[in-house]
Structure 1
C-alpha cells in the first residue's frame, strides 16, 4: 500500500503548489522617483485610461502622437493604443472597457524612454484593480396620473460606469403577477446613475402591492433582492411614506396615497416638535414641510385628519411618527489625482468643500 500512496501524495503536493496564483512583485515608486512620478493605482473605473506620469520630459514624440505599444506590457492582455498626453505623461487607452473586478499588472520599459539608465531601473512594474460591479435601487414617492393609475420614480446607482442597456436588465416590477412597464431616462448611454419610472400602476378598490425585483447577473454582480411597495385602495386616503431630505434645503417629505388639494391651509394640520410656522409646498401626492430652523435629533411628527385630497376627502386617520434628523457632516472632494511623494516640495493639497 505504501508504494501506491507515496507517488499519489507527491503528485497531489505538486498539483496544489503549481495551481497557486503566481505573485507579481511591483516596484517601489519612491525608489523610481527620478523616473516615475505617478501611475494609475488602487481601484479604478473600467473606463479610465492607464496613466503613466514621468518625472522627466520625453522628446522622442510629439504631444498627442501615438507611440510604440511595446513600451508597455499589460497583463491580462488588453488591446488599445499608447499616446503621449503631454511632455511627461503617457496614456494607454483601451479599445474597449477594461474587465471589471480584475487586477492588472503593467510594466514600463524605462530603458526605451531614457538613455544611460542603470539596469535596476530598466523596467518599472505597477498594479491596479478595476471596481467590483455592484448597484443599489432607490424608489421614491408614489404619484398619481389619475384615480386609477399611479407611478413611482426611482434611481439606480452603480459602483462603476454601466450602459443603459445593462441597467434595464437589472430591475423589473410586477403587480398581481403582471409585468409593469419601466420607463428609463436615456439621456446618457453610459453612466453610474440612471433615473427610471415604474409606470401604469393600477389602483384597485382594495389595498394592493407591487413587487420590485433586481438581479445583477447582467453586470456580473451577485446583488439580487426585492422590495414590496403597498398601493392603497381607491377609497383609502392615507400616508404611505415619510422622509427627511437634507439637500439642497432641509425639509420633511410626506407622501400621500392621493394628490393633495392645493388650495388648503395646512397650519395646525402638520406638527413638527419644536417648530413654529413651517412653510408648505404641495407637489402632487407629496407635501413638503420646511421648518424655520435646522432640525437635529429625534423629533415627533404629527399629521392630523383635516388634510384633504383633490376630491375633498379628508385623511382617514391621524398619523404620528418619531424620526431622526441627522446633522450632515461636511464633505471634502479631492480635485484631480496623484501621489504625494516624501520629497515633494511646495506641496499644494487642493480640495473642494
Structure 2
C-alpha cells in the first residue's frame, strides 16, 4: 500500500516540509529506514539519524530546529510518538480489514448469523446460535463456541478459542492461542481427601475496545460473569480466574496471574509477573510494579506498590538498599560486639 506524504499528514494532522507528493509504502525505525519508508523522531538522542536516514519522510515535532540539511520530507506534528502510533494503527487496520470472504474448509452453523464484510479463515468453526457483527475477522483455526456474541470490527486471531456464551464487544482483539471462557478452577474437597469439580455455568463478558494477548486465559464465572471492562489491554500469558472484574482502561503485563473473584479498578497498571490472591479488591489508579505479590485489598487510589508482600514502592526500594547492605552491617555488628568490654559480674 502506498500513500503520499500529504495523505500521511492529513491522517496525523501535521504540516509538510518538502515534497508532499513523495510516496511511502512502509514504516520503519529512523536508524534503519530506507527509500519508501516513513519514520519518526521523538527521542532527542536519535536526532543525528535525522540527517543520515534513508527514509523518504520523517515525523518530527513542530519546534525541532534543523542543525544541517535534511534529505527526507518532514511531517511536523505536536506529538510525533502519538502520531506514529496512530499511523501504525491505521496501517494495521488497513491491512487486516483487507481480509474478506470465506476460506474453505470452514464451518458456520445454520443457526449462526454474521454481518457484512466479514472474513472466515480456513478451518475456523462458528457454533450454534452465534451472533457476529459487521467486519468481524475470524482467522484460521479459531473456534467460536455456541451462543457467542461478537461486536462489529472485532478480530479473533488464529487458534484462539472462544467458549460458549462469551460476549465480546466492538473493536476487540483476541490474539493467537488465547482462550476465553474456559472453566474456572473450582473443585470442592471431599471427606476422603479427593476433589469434586464444581460446574462453572457463568460466562465471560468483554466490553468494547478490549485486547487479549496471545496464550492468555480468561476463565468463565462459576455463576454470573467474569467481566473485562472497556478499553482494558491484557498482555500475553496472563491468567484471569473466574468471577474477576477488571475495570476500564487497565493494563496487565505478561505472566501476571489473578486468582478468583478479584476486583480491579479503572486505570490500573499491573506490571509483569504480578500475582494477586483471591477475593480482594484494588482501587482505581493503582500501579503494581513487576513481581509484586498482593495479599490484601488496596483501598486508597493512586498508590504505587512493589514487593511480596506488597507495600509502598519508595519504602520497598529503601528496604532493598538495606537488604543489599546486610552482609556489611553484619560484619560491623560482629566487630562492635567483639570490641565491646565484657560486662561486670554482679
Structure-2-length-normalised TM-score: 0.22
Tell me which protein shows more helix as a share of its residues.
Answer: 2
Q: Which has the larger radius of gyration?
A: 1
Higher relative contact order (CA 8 A, sep 6+): 1
